[in-house]
């Protein structure tokens, strides 16, 4: 497993864990969205990836949607998809 694959795998697990915690504790959407943005920023910095280049975020995509989008992107990455779940 490459270093980038290891980092993506760790961020995948972190994102899944946070989704569960935020759901259990009914976190405010703004907190969840901010967490997703920070996680994504750190991930991209560590793997040297450009800023998010996927489809435009839906208007008002806050909270859980932001983390789910990040999770979808991590799972779509070839190096991570093999190790997901």
Q: Where are the domains of the chain?
A: 3-80
- Intervals of the chain under pLDDT 50: 80-85
Give the separation between CA 44 and CA 39, rounded to whole angstroms.
9
Question: How far does CA 26 lie from the centroid of its chain?
Answer: 18
Residue that has been written with the tokens 């969840």 in this structure:
32
Structure confidence at residue 84 (pLDDT): 46
Q: Which of 40, 34, 52, 33 is nearest to 14 (CA)?
A: 40
Structure confidence at residue 67 (pLDDT): 83
Structure confidence at residue 82 (pLDDT): 45
């Amino acid at each position: 497993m490459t270093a980038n694959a290891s980092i993506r795998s760790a961020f995948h697990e972190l994102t899944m864990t946070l989704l569960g915690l935020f759901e259990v504790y009914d976190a405010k959407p703004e907190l969840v969205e901010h967490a997703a943005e920070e996680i994504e920023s750190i991930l991209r910095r560590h793997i040297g990836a450009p800023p998010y280049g996927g489809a435009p975020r839906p208007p008002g995509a806050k909270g859980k949607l932001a983390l789910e989008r990040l999770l979808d992107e991590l799972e779509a990455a070839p190096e991570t998809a093999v190790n997901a779940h």
